Amino acid sequence: MQDASTLSAVPLDAANLPDDSHVLKQMIGELLTTIKQLRSTIDQQNAHIHYLARMTFGRRSERVEGPTLFDALPTPEPPPAEPEPEPRVVVQRKGHGRRQHPPELPVEREVLDLTEAEKACPCCGQERIKIGVDVSRRLDYRPACLFRREVERPTYICRRCEQQGQNIQAGQAPLPAEPIPQGTVGAGLLAHVIVSKWCDHLPLYRQESMLARLGWNVSRSTLCDQMMSCARLLTPLYEAMCRRVRESFALHADDTPLTLLKPRRTAHAWVYVGDRLHPYTVFDVSVGRQQEFPEQFLAGYRGYIHADAYAGYNPLYAAGATHVGCWMHARRNFFEAKENDPARAHEALARIRLLYAVETEAKNKDLQGAALAAYRQEHAGPLLKSFADWLAEEVPRVLPKSKMGEAMGYASNQWSTLVRYLQDGRLTIDNAPAEQAIRPLAVGRRNVSVHSRGV
């Protein structure tokens, strides 16, 4: 039986390198990237060590005063003067220049002219004539402002009917529809609050103070009630988008945790991204991460689902949906194993890079549909076959509980789903659309507090 030392990382020597020149080339690229990252990490650690040493054993002041260790040393004689080098001709490089302002922006022209007295010639007193004009352009900004929109509706009646004692036929234009009937705010202000909260990640307590600076002293509870009213108004649109996403030939699914308040608990935002014919992105927020939530949202769906290896999607696959694996997840596992098993990790990353190179070439050729599937089978198919053979050979040589063992186990167990994108050009190599959709939530997680009443 082999011990842990036998199953340790394979050394980086020529005896263990692959024979494929393309894999070697990509492997070298991965190694160079790793070296660059390690150098950056070492430089940061050295700078931190020097700072700690100076703060612990040296002076904290940056000023140098009084005698030093070098005062007793003899002053060295100046070295002989070297001959002046010949002057070099420095070629001035052309600068990039200023970026032009967007032409579609409105223009406000301000004319700074001379007074009538200044137009007179200081020499003879005759009025000078205009011979040209200089225009200086600056991009400026006007802060947002609140305003009161008043809708005036004149009322008209028939004076003749009134004089004859008949029913007064009064006429008045109807009020335009508003998001919140009989509300105190208009659609523009509501849209601004919604975009600021969900797109710019400004929670309502921050918007409360920002709106106060603009002259509107509003409480966040009022803003929250208005957001709830807008949510009810937009619910039919949201439901229509969900139906369109479920009509996709292939969709992307992922989730990310969120924190709910009052009471404080963990929720998950499930994202579903439709295909090219159904380009909609919808979210479904649930308390917990049980399989019942995606099973309920995608009930009856029989298409392809791009997702990770989360077991909560298994009931959907059993009911007729087809799982398409994500090479981004597979690559992430090998990347995390670089420090413990650099040789095998870099070789796996190099092989995955070749697969993405095929996708880049196909995108540059603007291939779609059947042409894209044929191109993948011709160019990525042999790479995947070689990758599978390499995995079958290396899996028995690694510890199953190690980082490399987990990475290889994930790739081996998910292999049938990872190669499924070869079957149809409408499928993708990874789950990037879903991860890109939830990235704003992850970035703004510290700013946005999702209240239980506002979900």
pTM for this model (two decimals): 0.72
Over the chain, what HEC string results?
CCCCCCCCCCCCCHHHCCCCHHHHHHHHHHHHHHHHHHHHHHHHHHHHHHHHHHHHHCCCCCCCCCCCCCCCCCCCCCCCCCCCCCCCCCCCCCCCCCCCCCCCCCCCCCCCCCCCCCCECCCCCCECCCCCCCCCCCCCCCCCCCCCCCCCCCEECCHHHHHCCCCCCCEECCCCCCCCCCCCCCHHHHHHHHHHHHCCCCCHHHHHHHHHHCCCCCCHHHHHHHHHHHHHHHHHHHHHHHHHHHCCCEEEEEEEEEEEECCCEEEEEEEEECCCCCCCEEEEEEECCCCHHHHHHCCCCCCEEECCCCHHHHHHHHCCCEEECCHHHHHHHHHHCCCCCHHHHHHHHHHHHHHHHHHHHHHHCCCCHHHHHHHHHHHHHHHHHHHHHHHHHHHHHCCCCCHHHHHHHHHHHCHHHHCHHHCCCCCCCCCHHHHHHHHHHHHCCCCCCEEHHHC
Q: For position 70, what pLDDT does the model report?
A: 37
Q: Is the pLDDT of residue 19 over 80?
A: no
Q: Is the pLDDT of residue 253 over 80?
A: yes
Average of pLDDT values for 380-394?
Answer: 96
* Dist. CA 362–CA 364, nearest whole Å: 5
Residue 418 pLDDT class (50, 70, 90 cuts):
very high
Tokens of 426: 């409408």
pLDDT tens across 299-344, in order? Answer: 999 999 999 999 999 999 999 999 999 999 999 999 999 888 888 9
Greatest mean pLDDT range, 38-42, 265-269, 440-444: 265-269
Lowest mean pLDDT across 12-21, 101-110, 397-406, 414-423 = 12-21
- pLDDT the model gives residue 82: 57
- Per the CB < 8 A criterion, the answer to whether 416 and 237 are in contact is no
Q: Average per-residue pLDDT in the chain? A: 85
**Tokens of residue 115, six digits:** 């007074």
Q: Residues 392-403: pLDDT tens digits? A: 999 999 999 999
Q: Residues of the chain with pLDDT > 70: what percent?
A: 84
d(CA 231, CA 285): 14
pLDDT at residue 383 greater than cutoff 80: yes
Which pLDDT band, with edges at 50, 70 and 90, does 86 fall under? low
Q: Torsion angle of alpha carbons 349, 352, 354, 358, nearest 10°?
A: -150
Q: How far is 317 from 329, CA to CA, in rounded Å?
A: 19
| pLDDT tens profile 134-174 | 998 888 888 888 999 999 999 998 888 888 888 878 899 99
Taking only the tens place, the pLDDT of each residue in 258-279 is 888 778 888 999 999 999 999 9
Q: What is the pLDDT of residue 339?
A: 85
